Amino acid sequence: MAIRKIVQYPDPVLKQKAKPVTKFHARLAKLLDDMAETMYDARGVGLAAPQVGILKRAIVVDVGEGLIEMVNPEIVEKKGEQISPPEGCLSIPNLLGEVRRANWIKVKGQDRHGNPVEIEAEGYLARAFQHEIDHLNGVLFIDVAERVFRPDEEEEED
């Protein structure tokens, strides 16, 4: 495993749509392993392949409940709404945003071997999935946030 360089905004790769994964081989497994190690090293809760410069539809997420890998993820159902806590992004340091997201989602995709996977996520985990899947579509949280601010500004808004 290796820690990869996290692509920083405004790198154009972050605005491109990732391509579906069609080959489930050792290179994909290494990418997923490296993405998890990179995410943990950066103290993040999610990472999408475009954030390490790879335009493939693969994400890793861990909101404290254990690592989840998903290849070719697709949200197939959404319910409810949430807007807090503020979102941040490893590719856009020093900014946070208030983003309206579904509170519950169902995601279908594949594991690292190509086997079908379906996950139901709620709350923070649902938010993390939506954020990472947005990355696969070239959408950043600053594109959809109702408000973007620096962490030190959060207290001043009250």
Residue in 65, 81, 87, 132 annotated catalytic:
132
- Percentage of the chain modeled with pLDDT above 70: 97
Q: For the residues 126-140, what does the mean pLDDT come to?
A: 98
Q: Is 113 part of any known ligand binding site?
A: no
pLDDT digits (tens, 9 = 90+) for 33-68: 999 999 999 999 999 999 999 999 999 999 999 999
Distance separating the N- and C-terminal Cα atoms of the chain: 44
pLDDT, residue 57, reads 98
pLDDT, residue 155, reads 53
Residue 81 designated active-site: no
The letter for the amino acid at 146 is: E
pLDDT digits (tens, 9 = 90+) for 97-108: 999 999 999 999
For each of the domains in the chain, give its residue range(s) and CATH number, in order of start. 12-157 (3.90.45.10)
